[in-house]
Amino acid sequence: MTAVDAHPLTGTAAPVRFPTGFRWGTATAAYQIEGAATEDGRTPSIWDTFSRTPGKVRNGDTGDIAADHYHRLDEDIALLKEVGVTDYRFSVSWPRVQPTGQGPASQRGLDFYRRLVDSLLEAGIRPVATLYHWDLPQELESPPAAGSTAGGGWPERDTAERFAEYAHLVGAALGDRVATWTTLNEPWCAAFLGYASGVHAPGRTDPAAALRAAHHLNLAHGLATRALRAALPAGSPAELSLTLNLHALRPLHDTPADRDAVRRIDAVANRVFLDPVFHGRLPEDLVEDTAALTDWAFVRDGDLETISAPIDSLGINYYNPTVVTAGTSDTPSPYPGTADRVGFVPAPGPRTAMDWPVDADGLYELLTRLRDELPGTPLMVTENGAAYDDYADPSGAVHDPERVAYLRSHIAAVHRAIEDGAPVGGYFLWSLLDNFEWAYGYSKRFGVVHVDFATQRRTLKDSARWYAQVIGRGGLD
Ligand code: IFM
């Protein structure tokens, strides 16, 4: 029973209440909101380079100014207080705190995050820090300089080692105050959109390099987990996690061929991360499916043990389900080794401004799958939300009933999963602010707070006020 179902006897909707202690948050990422791209010693990331490359980002938008969060920290924390979140998930910009991707930290860069974390704590909000949300220092993507091993991006092992060093620096600086650390956000996007389909930075279209990138991101997660544990004060209650954008997959038809299409995408989108991190192994079928691209010799002895170091929770980002069938896909595909075997079919139903189908059952399916496959692993929904073409009306109000409906159905799906035994401890709405939506630039608005990018004026949308009520009452009515 959820708030969206009528009670079978009374015909009225029963209120939905989440367990005491459930975390309610919003999420953002550094490059998408901070701006201040050249201030206080920050150097370019791969997204600065990519967004400046003609034709890569809609309207030629860049994150140079974004939502100017770097200069509006206090105002944005006041917004978080107004919404009443218990937790705030943000990411640390690697090129801001370690400008060349190696060597000592920039104190000016760290100071920004110290101020953010201290202000959150003062406001009674738990800081949830992601170390990597796609802004690799450009210097680590560019080919190595003479005499150096650093460079070449995630397809190179050295990048994972550099990441562990960066994690240690940030952990040592903020480890006494951050409640939850997430090593990586959506490594699938970093590896496969970045290096296979090339629609994200750094824009490479080399499927074999993308598979190497996926392994080195896994390794980076494992090495960073170890580095964080070493950097945190003894007895620290901080939790360590990883956030994946797992695909909720469905076959178009219930046939062996379509079920095989599901298996193939499941291997290269989900199990490529889940199996090494939680079971210390590579998916055998993925190794077979990609044999024409690589022999996986870049996986060294001991890597899988490092990658599977225990973590305290798994974050799941969910937006929509994916329907597949036996067939072919356009290339360059973000799913190496599948383009001549798998086709993608638009899921039915209403759509968001991203043209993504609205289907909350996919979230329920993912959470209950993880309940069964990873028993005992606490789960968090670390992103969920929707883009719509919001605007301020003449009175200045921003009405977004479709977003409220989207959020309501997805929060109800989380509740349903909890009732059915999924250990979900929190929900983070994406996103607090309208922001730089990667290759779509500023054309897509995911915020519950509207940002007028010409003036940087913030306006709470109806969905922010609605979410504040959900948090206040601990559920849906
Ligand atoms: O904006 C992104 C975010 O950076 C990562 N997860 C998906 C969101 C919406 O596309």
**Cα–Cα–Cα angle for 440, 191, 168, nearest 5°?**
105
Centre of ligand 1 from the C-alpha of residue 12, in Å: 36
Give buried/exposed letters for 127-137 (b at 16+ CB in 10 A, else e): bbbbbbbbbbb
| Distance (Å) from CA 233 to ligand 1 centroid | 32
> Which two structure tokens, joined as six digits, stand for 117?
């974390």
Tell me, what's the pLDDT at 429? 99
Which residue, judged by its Cα, is nearest atom 2 of ligand 1?
A: 437
- Amino acid at site 3: A
> What whole-number distance in Å separates Cα of residue 376 and Cα of residue 10?
37
Q: Which of 186, 365, 402, 437 is catalytic?
A: 186
Residue 240: Cβ within 10 Å count: 21
Radius of gyration of the chain from its Cα atoms, rounded to whole angstroms: 21
Q: Tell me if residue 288 is catalytic.
A: no
- Contact by Cβ (8 Å): 208, 151: no
Q: Check the CA dihedral 282-286-288-292 and report its sign.
A: negative
Domains of the chain: 17-476 (3.20.20.80)
CA distance 210 to 191: 5
The predicted pLDDT at position 7 comes to 53
**How confident is the model over 415-467, as pLDDT tens digits?**
999 999 999 999 999 999 999 999 999 999 999 999 999 999 999 999 999 99
Flag residues of the chain having pLDDT under 70. Answer: 1-12
For the CA of 438, the closest atom of ligand 1 is 1
Q: What is the pLDDT of residue 14?
A: 80
φ and ψ at 438, to 5 degrees?
45, -125
* Ligand 1, CB within 6 Å, residue ranges: 29, 32, 186, 317, 383, 430, 437, 446
Write the residue with the smallest CA distance to atom 1 of ligand 1: 437
Q: Is 186 a catalytic residue?
A: yes
Annotated catalytic residue within 139, 141, 383, 402: 383
Q: What angle do CA 208, 211, 217 make, to 5 degrees?
A: 140
pLDDT attached to residue 3: 43
- In the reported structure, the alpha carbon of residue 318 is separated from the centroid of ligand 1 by a whole-number distance in angstroms of 10
Contact 86, 23 (CB under 8 A): yes
Q: Mind listing the pLDDT tens digit for each residue in 41-64?
A: 999 999 999 999 999 999 999 999
CA of 112 to the centre of ligand 1 (A): 23
Cis peptide upstream of residue 332 (ω within 30 degrees of 0)? yes
Report the distance separating Cα 209 and Cα 293, nearest Å. 9
* pLDDT at site 9: 56
Residue of the nearest CA to atom 10 in ligand 1?
A: 437
